[in-house]
Amino acid sequence: MSPELIELRDSARQVLGAGGLSADESKTWSQALELGWLLVAVPEGLGGLGQGLAGASAFYAEFGRSLNAAPYVPAMLGIDAVCHAARADRANWLERLTTRDFVTASLGDARLAITNMSGGKPTLRGTVSAVPSADRAAHVLVCSADEACVALVPMAQAGVERTSRPTWDATRRLFDLRFTDVEIDSDLILASGSEAQALSRRLATHRDFALASDAVGGASAVLDMTIEYLQTRRQFGRPLALFQALKHRCADLKAQVCAAEALLLDSLSRVGEALETVDAETLGRGAKFFACSVYARVAEEALQLHGGIGMTAEHTCHRYLKRALLDEQLGRGDRYALDIADAFLGGL
Amino acid sequence: MTMTTGDPETLRAQVRAWLQQNVPHDWRAAMTGTGQDSFVRAQREWFAKLVKAGYATTHWPAGWPGGGRSLAEQRVIYEEVARADAPRLILFFVALYHAACTLIEWGSEEQKQQHLPDILEGRIWCQGFSEPNAGSDLASVRTRAERRGDRYVINGQKTWSTLAQFADHCLLLVRTDSSGPPQAGLTYLLLDMRSKGVSVRPIAQITGDDEFAEIFFDDVEVPVSDRIGDEGQGWAVAQSTLASERGLTLVELTLRMRYGLARIASLMRERGVSDDPALRSDLGRLIPKVNAACALADRYLLKRIEGTEAPGDASIVKLNYARTLREFTLLGLRISGLQGQYREDFTRGGSQETGNWAVDFMNSYNWSIAGGSDEIQRNIIAERMLGMPREPKNWQLPK
């Protein structure tokens, strides 16, 4: 990490930390706009901070660490899409998206059909799930299943139907979006053809790295919290942290968190800014799958190690656990292990 | 001798070209099902080649042949050695790392001049630390050294000494004083294995091999001039011996494990189970762990280069490698099915992934037990990294 990025990250940690765990969505959102956090990955040439994906990752990890509820990841995906679309009005869009309007995007693996791409009136059909804070969004970013089109769709447009899907993870507000013959405004197409393929892949890989970073931040925080609890809680006349059975479990969890973090940082440095390549896709999937598995296992153990207090709604344990379990299912969910094997066996 | 400073990529190209020309192409076949004699011969030949090229001693200080390489350069060389699937210098490991690094850090000028050139000539060393009752608890070493004039007289027993049956010298940790705290009474000696009263008995292992040995000492005399450090300083000297291998070895071994993934793929093809979704899923779970083990080893080395290593960092790397290697070899064994349960010849001098999965699996315990067991690593991580309290010291056997 560059000294500049470390400084940015530390200030984000301070602001997010001061807001407390699971801080209110709209409050953090206005802070993010005000402090320029949405500009982190925007290239300097476009008026951003030029910290790239590694910079964005550091922020995602901070949001994960503090269980923050603001829809920072989908907003960053929307901004990344605009940055990498060859459009004359890009500067205008970037100004809107980094200072006022919120574009959301699915954190799942959408299956959308766009017909009539060549016939003049491209039409969108299908359902996407896991769209955060869609009720606050001006637009939603969509990628067609055949990777032939990436576009923005106004949430207010006829044929866009929104269903709230409350999740066990209370730090996210997810929606399903159903598109019934929604005509796409040609002005809102960010990419089509081979450019759309590259952009779709870029965005999927960006999403995977974002989820991996959220998981690394969360896993690290929930483990720290657990160790602190074991240090203070006394039973049998001694701190729980003195029991070797518990120490060894914490050491194993620490080893896993360090491994997930090392894989994430190593993969980020290998990818650089070339997110649209097949190599980047493979690295992103590996980092996402591993980090989210580790987060879920660490959060699962954390609750057990807290004992009864961990079962209370008041304690933070369950919030980490629920966010971890949701993170694990986001992106390509259960398919990562096979994806990784396919890429490996196919690449030999 | 090849010596480059500056651009690591120039060095990489040089090393790669040298390895292409010099790694014996059929070494795996030649070392499979072979006895220890031809293994020792092949190791000597490979060692001599590496020494001549200056690649065996890159971690030695400047002024010694091959020495004076920066950690960044050493990393490049290790990466290339792993990539070329060159034989591992198992027979010379203790000499090149443990003995050499201990001599360099603690040895007198005479001791360095006496032993370091001999190591380059192919002198073999073994380590005499562990005892039947001093494994993880190394401070409880009981082998006695009694001072008689200008000699120490040694009585006792060492165990788990790798390839001691071939060794010329031994790094010996002995007790010279039992009165104070256990660490304070230890002394470090260099032993000539041909000394009168030394006997070596190889230990039959679960693989059928006998890579370790016990060493017995019956009134063995060692000149006081062969002591490293002062009397009672043995614990501190032993710590540098144990620290000498950390870092680079695991960069090499984790990389070898990553290249070894291709063996799992070819095994799946051979067994006709390439399309088995359960096995593919297991492989997909393993791959990121292997990559994470590589990333950890690599980043740990970078920390050492920058001087930002923290307590517990090395334990995290080793624990992850040991756990992942166990899982890796076990997956190979499972994919092998019943076939994997039939005895087959094993390969000597390879890395941990030879393709004889039962033997590879059994040998994976080397990494979770030797050099500080997983349990010791967990203690280090919990106590020195996570700040959890140490065990109380005043435990008494219940009456």
Are A244 and B385 an interchain contact pair (Cβ–Cβ within 8 Å)? Answer: no
pLDDT band at residue A21 under the 50/70/90 scheme: confident
Instruction: State the pLDDT at residue A71.
Output: 96
Are A250 and B392 an interchain contact pair (Cβ–Cβ within 8 Å)? Answer: no
Instruction: State the pLDDT at residue B1.
Output: 41
HEC assignment per residue over chain B: CCCCCCCHHHHHHHHHHHHHHHCCCCHHHHCECCCHHHHHHHHHHHHHHHHHHCCCCCCCCCCCCCCCCCHHHHHHHHHHHHHCCCCCCHHHHHHHHHHHHHHHHHCCHHHHHHHHHHHHHCCCEEEECCECCECCCHHHCCCEEEEECCEEEEEEEEEEEECHHHCCEEEEEEECCCCCCHHHHEEEEEEECCCCCEEEEEECCCCCCCCEEEEEEEEEEEEHHHEECCCCCHHHHHHHHHHCCCCHHHHHHHHHHHHHHHHHHHHHHHCCCCCCHHHHHHHHHHHHHHHHHHHHHHHHHHHHHHCCCCCCHHHHHHHHHHHHHHHHHHHHHHHHHHHHHCCCCCECCCCCCCCCHHHHHHHCHHHHHCCCCHHHHHHHHHHHHCCCCCCCCCCCCCC
Helices (H), A35-88: 52-65, 72-83
Question: Distance, in angstroms, between B280 CA and closest chain A CA?
Answer: 6
Nearest Cβ partner of A248 from B292, B294, B382?
A: B382
pLDDT 10s digits, B354-376: 999 999 999 999 999 988 899 99
pLDDT 10s digits, A194-235: 999 999 999 999 999 999 999 999 999 999 999 999 999 999
Contact of A258 with chain B, judged by CB distance below 8 Å, is answered with: yes
Are A286 and B382 an interchain contact pair (Cβ–Cβ within 8 Å)? Answer: no
Catalytic residue among B45, B221, B245, B327: B245
Are B261 and A341 an interchain contact pair (Cβ–Cβ within 8 Å)? Answer: no
pLDDT 10s digits, A288-328: 999 999 999 999 999 999 999 999 999 999 999 999 999 99
Q: Which residues 103-162 on chain A approach chain B with CB closer than 8 angstroms?
A: none
Contact of A102 with chain B, judged by CB distance below 8 Å, is answered with: no
Mutation target to probe the A interface, by most A beta carbons within 10 A, among B264, B380, B381 is B381
Dihedral angle over CA of B286, B288, B293, B296, nearest 10: -160
Instruction: State the pLDDT at residue B3.
Output: 47
pLDDT 10s digits, A79-116: 999 999 988 889 999 999 999 999 999 999 877 998 87
Question: Distance, in angstroms, between A231 CA and closest chain B CA?
Answer: 7
Taking contacts as CB-CB distances below 8 angstroms, the residues of chain B near A336 are 284
Contact of A348 with chain B, judged by CB distance below 8 Å, is answered with: yes
Question: pTM score, two decimals?
Answer: 0.94
Instruction: State the pLDDT at residue B4.
Output: 45
Whole-number percent of chain A with pLDDT over 70: 100
Mutation target to probe the B interface, by most B beta carbons within 10 A, among A230, A246, A248 is A248
**Mean pLDDT of all residues belonging to chain A:** 95
Are A337 and B281 an interchain contact pair (Cβ–Cβ within 8 Å)? Answer: yes
Q: Is B80 a catalytic residue?
A: no
Mutation target to probe the B interface, by most B beta carbons within 10 A, among A234, A263, A338 is A263
Question: Distance, in angstroms, between A303 CA and closest chain B CA?
Answer: 18
Are B299 and A265 an interchain contact pair (Cβ–Cβ within 8 Å)? Answer: yes
Indicate the SS3 state at residue A236. coil
Chain B residue nearest residue A229, CA to CA: B388
Locate B306 and state its tokens: 């920058």
Nearest Cβ partner of A266 from B295, B377, B391?
A: B295
Taking contacts as CB-CB distances below 8 angstroms, the residues of chain B near A230 are 388
The complex's ipTM works out to 0.95
Those residues of chain B that have pLDDT short of 50 are: 1-4
Question: Distance, in angstroms, between B265 CA and closest chain A CA?
Answer: 7
Question: Distance, in angstroms, between B128 CA and closest chain A CA?
Answer: 29
Give residue B315's Cα distance to chain centre.
15
Instruction: State the pLDDT at residue A156.
Output: 97
